[in-house]
Structure 1
């Protein structure tokens, strides 16, 4: 009952031109969507999560792509796949929070966000193929890793383009 009254009060205030801060937006989004956000979720956390992926995550993935991917080692593919899927989950959680609280998207807009998340999914799928490939006495590692290498390159192009866009806009 308290939650309903609070929601009604918040909606009434916003109709009369009073601004709604992040706590207000969070409460409205939770009530409107019948959900409870994790306590750590806020715009600052989500911005740092997105930037961490653009800067540190990108660097880690590039190091794997350059040094470990050519070996087609199953354990390395499993670990970096887990890394990608974990970051994807974090980014999607933040994107959902930002959308529902009307604070934008994790990567500025729907198109950029969808493309980067999709590229992460595609890269992880190629790594899973490397992990689950049958054991063969003689195999061309270059042929085994080529599709994953292309997926990494596609992901890097999207991330780099987004990073440059943020720089152009003075947001980095």
Structure 2
């Protein structure tokens, strides 16, 4: 009988050790992260964020104004960080991805990063010669923006359809 209680006691301690180690390895997230908060971050980016970004790229982008480029890079990096934080939270809590699926989420993050990188190159003075030999980075910036806008628009359409059938 002593052997059986000793085995049970060891099993119990092993179970306690496993539970304690899994708790210490669990990811913790800031208390403000909730599904509702993350939905609002995504909605803000998809709606007013993309509208503002589109207005800048299509109407106000000028490679000579480094401050505007810097601010836009900061905007993209900040929104990407917020969205990635929410994506990590949603994945850890068993919800879903911030942009519908893993593939779409990865594509949108890659498009955000590509646009920020291209803007950084313009800010650093990389030349984009056009057919006439003039420095014209606008078509390259617009191309990266359009890629992002199309991906975000696909997500937005899915969001609207999901809401329609709820």
Give the TM-score taking structure 2 as reference length: 0.77
- Once the two structures are superposed, residues 54-105 of structure 1 have per-residue CA deviations (whole angstroms, 9 ceiling, x without a partner) of 1111111011111222x21211111001000000000000000000110111
TM-aligned CA distance change 1:123 to 1:33, over 3 Å: farther
Query: Residue 93 of structure 1 corresponds to which residue in structure 2?
Result: 85
What number of residue pairs does the alignment pair up? 142
CA distance 1:114–1:32, change in 2 (3 Å): farther
Give the drift of 1:108.
1.5
The answer on 1:160 being equivalent to 2:153 is yes
What is the distance in 2 between the residues matched to 1:33 and 1:57?
A: 35
- Superposed CA deviations along residues 98-153 of structure 1, whole A, max 9, x for unmatched, are 00110111112101111111100000000001100169xxx734x22221111001
* C-alpha distance in structure 2 between counterparts of 1:76 and 1:162, whole Å: 27
Aligned to 2:75: 83
Computing the radius of gyration from Cα coordinates, the structure with the larger value is 2
Gaps of 5+ in 1: 9-29
Normalised by the size of structure 1, how large is the TM-score?
0.74
| Root-mean-square deviation (Å) | 2.4
Quote the Cα distance in structure 2 between the aligned partners of 1:43 and 1:168.
19
| 1:110/1:134 CA distance change after superposition, 3 Å | closer
Segments of structure 2 that go 5 or more residues without pairing to the other structure are: 1-14, 128-132
Residue 23 (structure 2) aligns with: 31
- Judging changes above 3 Å, is the alpha-carbon distance between structure 1 residues 102 and 33 closer, same or farther for their aligned structure 2 residues? farther
